A and B are shown apart, each in its own frame.
Chain A
Amino acid sequence: MEDFGDKVGHPRARGSGTPLVAFHAVSKRFPGVVALRTVSFHVAAGSCHALMGENGAGKSTLGRILAGLCRPDEGHIEIGGRTCQFHCPGDSQRAGIGLVHQELSYCPNLSVAENLCLSSLPRRGLLVDREAMVERTKRFLDAVGADCGPDEELGRLTTGQIQLVQIAAALATGARVLVLDEPTSSLSLGAARNLESLIGQLQRQGTTILYISHRMEEIFRLCDTATVLRDGQHVATLPLAEANEDDLVRLMIGRSLAAYFPVHVGHSPGRERLRVEGLSSPGRFRDVTFGLRGGEVLGMAGLVGSGRSEVAQAIVGMDPGVKGRLFVNGAAVTIQSPRQALSQGIGLVTEDRKRFGIVPEMGCGENLTLSALDCRGGRGFWARAVRCPRCPKREDCLRLWDWLRLARERALVLEYFDRLRVRAASPAVPIATLSGGNQQKVVLAKCLARRCCVLMLDEPTDRVDVGAKAEIHRLIDDLASAGHAVLMISSELPEILHLSTRILVMRRGRVAGLVDRADATQERIMQLMAGRTPSPGILERTVHAN
């Protein structure tokens, strides 16, 4: 890759404006969603180019296409004026592109050195030349300022360290273009600052950077140009010197923030549905105590890794090592599996929908009734095995012994499709073909169909398009008004601030504070999340960013 510069001309000529990477009418479709629609723009050599947009706008897909992880359906990419067809990540690497993203794309069981040199292991004869590998690794680790040794196992490093290793690996393959996909979203403030200064330094050394993020603050500090995507379409490419945050936000969401969230209807909290006392799990969280009342939305804020999701997982019994007490409607209960949690009326909508939320090949109707099919209420062997499980006379029981009552099931599905405005051609189409928003509605309906009165929603609007997002917000609001107790975990502060009755902030596995709606400001929450007082300027900017 050392000869790459010759092909391109002068990639190191900073700010010259010569396009190094150009996208020409790139389109990409996935089942159920159009991720990119004829996107065209170019990235100037030596620039730090921000790629912005909401969740699901297509930023990451574009990054993945550039890195050769997926191929565009239409259109092509030019690098240094040459049309490139990337068939595999190796092709992209050879063209001088390095991708750094949060999802671990390396082998956690191998050492740092092995990971770093994985694509081109130095050899001595047939064997790996260990010394050369370690020496090379040290050189690149020093270059990025990583404080880990070449022999450490990658899986044991922190996220921040792993990202530095990924950058080092990208540099080791001779990357001239570095694609950074939301690099700071899971980092502590300090680590994020280190990363930023590294990026600045790399850019000064001539690396072109494509920076995917939706954090205004970082983008204004680091980048010189920004491209905004919305719903898979290219909205604008503009120099950041000429733009301010409000412009960008408007471009990203297509309308002003006021229309973005539904008007909040005040709730009057009812009795306490769920109480958690002294919940601890070694290495995940400690001494978490809170109560959740019917009719309220308890927002749970915190940085990624602060233990928010882990608490929710532990409540539904997916953490065998958890200690602490749990009360449902005032009565102490032990919950060892999601099955028991559901029978207590506690439903969890998990964060990673694809892995934990849906059965992709099954119809969306079948996904919807998955939990409701199994509502055995009777106690004791006789009631469970011999009598028709549960509710022998209840009108809406979906089973007669083990027999499925398809007509009732269909009626239930159509009812929820209607209530939640699920857009699907029929309940029989596989759920994987629906858009993210509709999938999420079905997963939510799964809990509702089981008649859960306590709903725990982990990142309910993650990877959901704008329209559906507003609908889900409205739905959460409606559910609380109808008396459900809702615990909402979210990384999007505006979402938390607009929907929550109270806000529970987690930091490093502990409850950092519980803030009432009336006292909640973005500054206060951020402060509790980060554990120190950030400078006011930063905060003011992030207000609209997320």
Chain B
Amino acid sequence: MPTERAGQWGTVARPTGTAKRSLLLKETGLVGVVLSLGLLLTVFGGAMPVRDRATGQTRTVNRFLRADNLDKLAKNTSFFAIMAVGATVVIISGGIDLSVGSVYCLAAVCGAMFLNRFGPQGAGAGASAAWVVPAAILLCLGIGAIAGLLNGLGVVLLGVHPFVITLGTMAIYRGVAFVMTRAQAYTHFPPQFTDGLIRYEVGHNLYPVPLVITVVVVVLAGVYLKRTVTGRQIFAIGGNEQAARYSGLPVERVKLKVYAFGGLAAGIAAVIMLGYYGAASSDAGKGYELDVIAAAVVGGASLSGGRGSALGALLGSLIIQMIASGIIILEIDQNYSQIIIGAVIVAAVVLDRISTVLRERRLAVTAVPEPEISERAEP
């Protein structure tokens, strides 16, 4: 989803070719992300010599750009990217949602219990997959959206900072999931849902469905943010809530939508997770909230609100997952992975900050001074 802001209007002098591309990057604030992504690709994407233990010969192989590795990367990215899109929308509106991991878990657990009941070993084993599968999906999405809506109601009605509300619901939702499952894992889902849908296999060991869902979610969210009235209002509320209120925007209603969307995104991620792994327990998604927010921030979302894009959320998640998988490929000690990921998050945000400062400075320099008196004001 191209999120170029200037493009909506068509600038006075329409830039073309490279100029236009660089403008797109600058306007969407994705300079840092794209640079980091390119850097990572060069580091991981190169072929490297590997000594084959059996024969003792050294061969040059590329372990990153391989179908199975890319597929794994796509799958790992998909959960995060979808949740990061939700988190980005919340962050653009000037809020924050710490409960994504728990909402994801709650939706997954509810879906898992349902699927288990109607699975091959459950009480309702005979039920037709034609309604079980859609019902399970709707259940996950519904639980996610309702949990998000409750977050939104807390923020709007109680007037408490979203950080506090979602910190509370983070514990509450996970607690509910824990009580419901009695800390038990649920498996044995109808194969039509797992192998037949989410783990649909094309070729050898390639599962494209999570990637497709992610792309669809990102595109829809991008369109929603940039081409709808509500999307515009989300940016306005995050940019200056008071001004938005004075401009007559339905601030409360938009906030409810935003948090519900955040929850819905967690619900979609839960569906993919259920189908892919075929199991869920109340431990699912522990600590995801910070990874997801990190992905959103790396993707250019500003925690003070008013800035961010769905495409950025996707790229941000991709970066974090690429580092995680790159660490394995480069055979770096696993214990260092957290340090490296943390450093990259800070670096990406600093890069973004620098590009913003440079842009502002350029604007200040090129500011056109007002003419002393306009012709019309002349007596």
Is the beta-carbon distance between B9 and A31 smaller than 8 angstroms? Answer: no
Measured CB to CB, the nearest residue on chain B to A465 is B370
- From residue 243 to 272 of chain B, which have CB atoms closer than 8 A to chain A? 243-250
Is the beta-carbon distance between B228 and A435 smaller than 8 angstroms? Answer: no
The answer to whether A513 has its CB under 8 Å from any CB of chain B is no
Is the beta-carbon distance between A338 and B246 smaller than 8 angstroms? Answer: yes
Q: Which of B232, B245, B364 contacts A29 (CB 8 A)?
A: B364
Q: Which of A259, A360, A373 contacts B232 (CB 8 A)?
A: A373
The answer to whether B19 has its CB under 8 Å from any CB of chain A is no
Given contacts A31-B363, A359-B235, A471-B377, contact A403 B370 (CB under 8 A): no
Is the beta-carbon distance between B367 and A358 smaller than 8 angstroms? Answer: no
The answer to whether B371 has its CB under 8 Å from any CB of chain A is yes
Q: B130 to chain A: which residues have CB within 8 Å?
A: none
Q: B123 to chain A: which residues have CB within 8 Å?
A: none
Q: B250 to chain A: which residues have CB within 8 Å?
A: 339, 374
* Bound: A470/B378 CA distance, A: 9
Given contacts A358-B243, A360-B240, A428-B5, contact A404 B232 (CB under 8 A): yes
- From residue 386 to 402 of chain A, which have CB atoms closer than 8 A to chain B? 398-399, 402
Taking each of B228, B248, B368, B377, which has the highest tally of chain A beta carbons within 10 Å of its own beta carbon? B248
* Bound: A259/B379 CA distance, A: 6
Measured CB to CB, the nearest residue on chain A to B8 is A406
Q: How far is the CB of A14 from chain B (nearest CB, A)?
A: 39
The answer to whether A350 has its CB under 8 Å from any CB of chain B is yes
Is the beta-carbon distance between B374 and A421 smaller than 8 angstroms? Answer: yes
Given contacts A374-B248, A406-B8, contact A359 B369 (CB under 8 A): no
The answer to whether B6 has its CB under 8 Å from any CB of chain A is yes
Q: How far is the CB of A370 from chain B (nearest CB, A)?
A: 4
Q: A398 to chain B: which residues have CB within 8 Å?
A: 229
* Bound: A277/B231 CA distance, A: 39
Measured CB to CB, the nearest residue on chain A to B356 is A361
* Bound: A358/B306 CA distance, A: 12
Q: What 1/0 flags go to A230-243 for Cβ under 8 Å of B?
A: 01000000000000
The answer to whether B373 has its CB under 8 Å from any CB of chain A is yes
How many residues on chain A are close to B (CB under 8 Å)?
64
Measured CB to CB, the nearest residue on chain B to A430 is B363
Is the beta-carbon distance between B367 and A33 smaller than 8 angstroms? Answer: yes
Q: What 1/0 flags go to B351-379 for Cβ under 8 Å of A?
A: 00000000010011101111111101111
* Bound: A231/B228 CA distance, A: 41
Q: Tally of A-B residue pairs with Cβ under 8 A?
A: 154
The answer to whether B122 has its CB under 8 Å from any CB of chain A is no
Q: A231 to chain B: which residues have CB within 8 Å?
A: 369-370, 372
Is the beta-carbon distance between A370 and B236 smaller than 8 angstroms? Answer: yes
Q: B368 to chain A: which residues have CB within 8 Å?
A: 423
Q: What 1/0 flags go to A361-389 for Cβ under 8 Å of B?
A: 11101100011011000000000000000
The answer to whether B121 has its CB under 8 Å from any CB of chain A is no
Q: A421 to chain B: which residues have CB within 8 Å?
A: 374, 376
Measured CB to CB, the nearest residue on chain B to A410 is B9
Is the beta-carbon distance between B11 and A428 smaller than 8 angstroms? Answer: yes
Is the beta-carbon distance between B8 and A428 smaller than 8 angstroms? Answer: yes
Is the beta-carbon distance between B306 and A362 smaller than 8 angstroms? Answer: yes
Measured CB to CB, the nearest residue on chain A to B253 is A339
The answer to whether A195 has its CB under 8 Å from any CB of chain B is no
Q: How far is the CB of B6 from chain A (nearest CB, A)?
A: 4
Q: What 1/0 flags go to A250-262 for Cβ under 8 Å of B?
A: 0000110011001
Is the beta-carbon distance between B5 and A363 smaller than 8 angstroms? Answer: yes
The answer to whether B181 has its CB under 8 Å from any CB of chain A is no
Is the beta-carbon distance between A34 and B369 smaller than 8 angstroms? Answer: yes
The answer to whether A223 has its CB under 8 Å from any CB of chain B is no
How many residues on chain B are close to A (CB under 8 Å)?
45
Is the beta-carbon distance between A427 and B240 smaller than 8 angstroms? Answer: no
Q: A446 to chain B: which residues have CB within 8 Å?
A: 247
Is the beta-carbon distance between A466 and B239 smaller than 8 angstroms? Answer: no
Is the beta-carbon distance between A433 and B242 smaller than 8 angstroms? Answer: no
Is the beta-carbon distance between B365 and A357 smaller than 8 angstroms? Answer: no
Q: A470 to chain B: which residues have CB within 8 Å?
A: 373-374, 377
The answer to whether B199 has its CB under 8 Å from any CB of chain A is no
The answer to whether B227 has its CB under 8 Å from any CB of chain A is yes
Is the beta-carbon distance between A31 and B364 smaller than 8 angstroms? Answer: yes
Is the beta-carbon distance between A370 and B240 smaller than 8 angstroms? Answer: no
Q: Which of A338, A358, A428, A465 contacts B9 (CB 8 A)?
A: A428
The answer to whether B230 has its CB under 8 Å from any CB of chain A is yes
Q: B242 to chain A: which residues have CB within 8 Å?
A: 355-356
- From residue 214 to 239 of chain B, which have CB atoms closer than 8 A to chain A? 227-233, 235-236, 239
Is the beta-carbon distance between A356 and B243 smaller than 8 angstroms? Answer: yes
Q: What 1/0 flags go to B1-18 for Cβ under 8 Å of A?
A: 000011011111000000
Is the beta-carbon distance between A356 and B229 smaller than 8 angstroms? Answer: no
Q: A359 to chain B: which residues have CB within 8 Å?
A: 235-236, 239-240, 243-244, 306
Q: How far is the CB of B342 from chain A (nearest CB, A)?
A: 28
Q: B75 to chain A: which residues have CB within 8 Å?
A: none
Q: A33 to chain B: which residues have CB within 8 Å?
A: 367, 369-370
Q: A188 to chain B: which residues have CB within 8 Å?
A: none
Q: What 1/0 flags go to A330-369 for Cβ under 8 Å of B?
A: 0000000111011100001010000111111111011000
Is the beta-carbon distance between A374 and B240 smaller than 8 angstroms? Answer: no
The answer to whether B117 has its CB under 8 Å from any CB of chain A is no
Is the beta-carbon distance between A350 and B228 smaller than 8 angstroms? Answer: no
Q: Which of B11, B227, B306, B379 contacts A258 (CB 8 A)?
A: B379
Measured CB to CB, the nearest residue on chain B to A425 is B12
Measured CB to CB, the nearest residue on chain B to A349 is B246
Q: A536 to chain B: which residues have CB within 8 Å?
A: none
The answer to whether B174 has its CB under 8 Å from any CB of chain A is no
Q: How far is the CB of B79 from chain A (nearest CB, A)?
A: 28
Is the beta-carbon distance between B244 and A343 smaller than 8 angstroms? Answer: no
- From residue 143 to 198 of chain A, which have CB atoms closer than 8 A to chain B? none
Taking each of A359, A406, A410, A433, which has the highest tally of chain B beta carbons within 10 Å of its own beta carbon? A359
Measured CB to CB, the nearest residue on chain B to A373 is B229
The answer to whether A530 has its CB under 8 Å from any CB of chain B is no
* Bound: A413/B364 CA distance, A: 24
Is the beta-carbon distance between A355 and B243 smaller than 8 angstroms? Answer: yes
Q: Which of A258, A402, A474 contacts B228 (CB 8 A)?
A: A402
Q: B244 to chain A: which residues have CB within 8 Å?
A: 359, 370
Is the beta-carbon distance between A29 and B367 smaller than 8 angstroms? Answer: yes
Q: B367 to chain A: which residues have CB within 8 Å?
A: 29-34, 433, 435
Is the beta-carbon distance between B243 and A254 smaller than 8 angstroms? Answer: no
Q: A430 to chain B: which residues have CB within 8 Å?
A: 363
The answer to whether A283 has its CB under 8 Å from any CB of chain B is no
Is the beta-carbon distance between B365 and A262 smaller than 8 angstroms? Answer: no
Q: B6 to chain A: which residues have CB within 8 Å?
A: 426, 428
Measured CB to CB, the nearest residue on chain B to A34 is B369
Is the beta-carbon distance between A371 and B374 smaller than 8 angstroms? Answer: no
* Bound: A446/B245 CA distance, A: 13
- From residue 457 to 515 of chain A, which have CB atoms closer than 8 A to chain B? 465-468, 470-471, 474
Q: B247 to chain A: which residues have CB within 8 Å?
A: 338, 342, 370-371, 446
Is the beta-carbon distance between B371 and A467 smaller than 8 angstroms? Answer: yes
* Bound: A466/B372 CA distance, A: 7
Give chain B's interface residues, CB within 8 Å of chain A.
5-6, 8-12, 227-233, 235-236, 239-240, 242-250, 306-307, 360, 363-365, 367-374, 376-379
Closest 5 CB pairs of A and B: A470-B377, A359-B239, A342-B248, A339-B248, A259-B379
Give chain A's interface residues, CB within 8 Å of chain B.
29-34, 231, 254-255, 258-259, 262, 316, 318, 337-339, 341-343, 348, 350, 355-363, 365-366, 370-371, 373-374, 398-399, 402-404, 406, 410, 413, 421, 423, 425-428, 430, 433, 435, 437, 446, 450, 465-468, 470-471, 474
Of the A-B pairs whose beta carbons lie under 8 Å apart in the complex, a sample of 28, sorted by A's number, is A29-B367, A33-B370, A34-B367, A34-B369, A231-B369, A339-B248, A355-B243, A359-B239, A361-B239, A362-B239, A370-B232, A370-B249, A371-B247, A373-B232, A402-B228, A402-B230, A403-B227, A404-B227, A404-B229, A406-B227, A421-B376, A426-B11, A427-B9, A428-B6, A433-B363, A467-B371, A468-B370, A471-B377
Taking A450-B248, A471-B374 as known contacts, 8 extra A-B pairs with beta carbons closer than 8 A to each other, sorted by chain A number, are A30-B367, A231-B372, A342-B247, A343-B248, A359-B244, A404-B227, A437-B370, A467-B370
